[in-house]
Amino acid sequence: MKRRKFLKSGLVAGLTPLFVNGYAMNSLSASMIPASACDIDDRVLVIVYLGGANDAINAAVPLNQFGEYRDARPDIHLPQNSLIKLDNSLTGTSQDLGLHPSLTGLKDLYDNSKLSIVQRVGYPQPNRSHFTSQDNMLKGIDGTIANSGVSEGWIGRFLTDKYPTYKGLPFDNHEDPLGIILGDTQSTGFHTAAEHEMEINLSGQDPAGFFNIISSLSGEPISNFPNSENGEMLSYISQVEKSTQVYSERISSVFDTGGMAPQEVYPNSSLANQLKTVARLIVGGSKTKVFMAKKGGWDNHVNAVNASDTRLGKHANLLADLGDSLQSFQNDLVAKGISSQVVTVVFSEFGRKIIQNGNLGTDHGTMSSMFVVGDAVNAGVFGDNIDILNQDNQGAPDPGQLQNDYRTVFANICQDWMGASDDSILNTFPLTPSQVVLTNLGLINSNEKVDNTCYFEPVPPVSLTIRGRLYLEGFLESSGLMSTELADSGVLPTSQPYGDTRYSYYGEESVSSFPANTVDWLLMEVWNESNLVIDRKAVLLRNDGRITKLNGGLQILVSDLYPEKIRIAFLHRSHIGVLASKKIDAAQEATPVVNISTAVDTVEGNNQLKNIGGKYAMIAGDADQNGLINTADYSYWKRSSTNSVAGYQNADLNADGLVDNSDYLLWKNNRSKIGNPILHGILKR
């Protein structure tokens, strides 16, 4: 099966994109994800990453081994009478836990059947580097030689299987990113190595409560990326910037709408603000499927506790923020009426050692715990307490104590909450023994668990090489060929021109020189039978009407398609766009020809082409690209007609580089022409 490639998720620490307050504005509309017969498409996964490695043993003390715990941590252990008894029914068992006194929020969630604690979590060969372990867990691997070459992120693989036609840009019903990252998490596991990505990054809570969006990178746009790890990171940031820009207005609109719902009082912290933003986006109508938040600061080698009172200190403050933020988030979801849609999973890259160090702290350990929160969870403790006496030679839990592979936890959520099939789970967590990821822990209660008849299956994508032909009115000359004057005179831009237009296309197509007989750039779109745009790319038009690749080749590759029937649309900066009538079976037709030059009915709609000497051409005059030829287009002409210098202008309808009376006559003859409402309608952009 040919799979999409994903951007490497392991970024070097300290490489941080610049965040500013401004954001680009693009008009977006409609809902992204079609309804499912199994009624699970409104479900959302929220992932909270505790960066730095939470001390799980102090967060939930093993009461069945309190003496051993106290002996291992003589200076930093919590007083037994300060601990919050998790569950009296667990007394005397291997799951008997006392929560840190700061975790009243988690205790409330547990008592209200909204919290699962999964213990002894990690992976078989733990890595004690923060960055490597985080990277492993976001790639869905365990760092062994067998999967050392994996560069994809597990969330990206999961989302690609679930939404195989998603291309990472908002058009038509795809108006929300599939993933949103909050906080300063950079290494994510969301991104694709193609021209699209699975998420955007929001960071920096402003006074209004909205996480500002990446607007730009300082300096000139990056055009060439070195073939190195640094080059990959620069490419990553550049792609995140572009993806964020095109979603910015939609996110802002959804956020503002969400502010009309009841507001829960949250703690004043970064994590609380991130979760508050998630709740507000969801209630505002966001169809994003996976949110990721981050709470840093857990690497407490020094002064994790106060010497005079171990109930207080850095770790206590972190735990209080975590518990109170999760409690406020869940209460907010309930108040907003959306708590049934959300499951939250909390993880850390590893845990701490069992033994204390000499600085009132603990050092890097092996396994940790995970928390799963939501209406849909089976409240309880999954897995036994860490055996305090079973240590490795450095005083950390012996790796042999591993009971719950972190991939098992995420796989359970992906399947039972989000509907992934067994095959999709094995795609999501590569090169992993099936018994690791497919063991069912029962984290999701039976009433909310997705029935196996509703699982989505990974669909192998297909590729096509399309050949096309069309003509542009005004460009078409009496010779039967189109003018190449724009390219010949050097005014045709060498990069595709549709990023700053109504089409908001941010592809990176560019040439150093144009193939012979080039006329202009076109924007080609691939539509499915539900009238969703599933791919776009900029192509070139030759003077004989042939549509070409950037090197002049005649076969336009369209890859990663769902095997369904599709149609092709062509858009131009000054002509009414057209949607071809021909339906192409992507599963059967490998090299289709889309020729819209031979008859008016080769495109959908009434009178969408003009007969010019037996050649049917796209209609000139739509300078503002809204599918209507009216006074707004005349205004384009009027503003530009005083410019006597040759240039690349939308009101230049005959491609001579000038805006003059001949262009006015073309507009006048076509005024009141209306494009196909399916292609140009109010729901289009």
Backbone angles phi, psi at 264, to 5 degrees: -80, 150
User: Per-domain residue ranges for the chain?
Assistant: 44-454, 462-680
C-beta separation of 605 from 579 below 8 A: yes
- Report pLDDT for 193: 35
Which CATH class, in words, describes the domain spanning 462-680?
mainly beta
C-beta separation of 676 from 578 below 8 A: yes
Backbone angles phi, psi at 325, to 5 degrees: -65, -45
Q: What is the pLDDT of residues 31-43, one digit of tens each?
A: 333 334 478 989 9
CA distances from 275 to 61, 175, 324, 374, 517 (A): 27, 21, 11, 14, 55
Sort strands 115-122 and 368-373 into parallel, antiparallel or unpaired. Answer: antiparallel
**Residue type (1 letter), 478:** S
Say whether 462-680 and 44-454 share the same fold.
no
Strands of the sheet with 462-469, listed across from one edge = 556-561, 462-469, 593-595
Sort strands 547-548 and 556-561 into parallel, antiparallel or unpaired. Answer: unpaired
Mean pLDDT of 480-500: 94
pLDDT band at 431 (very low <50, low <70, confident <90, very high): confident
**Residue type (1 letter), 475:** F
- Report pLDDT for 437: 87
* Ranges 14-28, 367-381, 491-505, 657-671: which has the least confidence: 14-28
DSSP state letter for 205: E
Beta carbons within 10 angstroms of residue 606's beta carbon? 8
pLDDT band at 681 (very low <50, low <70, confident <90, very high): low
* pLDDT winner (highest mean) among 84-98, 258-272, 526-540: 84-98
Q: What is the pLDDT of residues 216-256, one digit of tens each?
A: 222 333 344 444 444 444 444 445 445 555 667 777 788 88
- Whose CA is closest to 427, among 462, 452, 459? 459
Tell me which of 126 and 521 has the higher pLDDT. 521
CA distances from 278 to 3, 210, 330 (A): 30, 10, 11
Evaluate if residue 141 carries a pLDDT over 50.
yes
Mean pLDDT of 629-639: 91
Q: What is the pLDDT of residues 491-506, one digit of tens each?
A: 999 999 998 778 888 8
C-beta separation of 493 from 666 below 8 A: no
Q: What is the pLDDT of residues 434-470, one digit of tens each?
A: 778 888 999 999 999 999 999 998 888 889 999 999 9
Mean pLDDT of 549-561: 92
Structure tokens at 408: 């098992």
pLDDT band at 25 (very low <50, low <70, confident <90, very high): very low
Which CATH class, in words, describes the domain spanning 44-454?
alpha beta
* 145 Cβ neighbours under 8 A, 6+ residues apart: none
Handedness of CA 62, 68, 69, 72 (dihedral sign): negative
Structure tokens at 193: 């190595």
- Report pLDDT for 180: 81
C-beta separation of 55 from 364 below 8 A: no
Structure tokens at 539: 């192509």
Evaluate if residue 322 carries a pLDDT over 90.
yes
Mean pLDDT of 464-489: 97
According to DSSP, the residues that pair with 569 across neighbouring strands are 525, 579
C-beta separation of 258 from 279 below 8 A: yes
- Report pLDDT for 250: 78
CA distances from 555 to 461, 462, 539, 590, 621 (A): 19, 15, 11, 11, 29
Q: What is the pLDDT of residues 333-385, one digit of tens each?
A: 999 999 999 999 999 999 999 999 999 999 999 999 999 999 999 999 999 99
C-beta separation of 406 from 122 below 8 A: yes
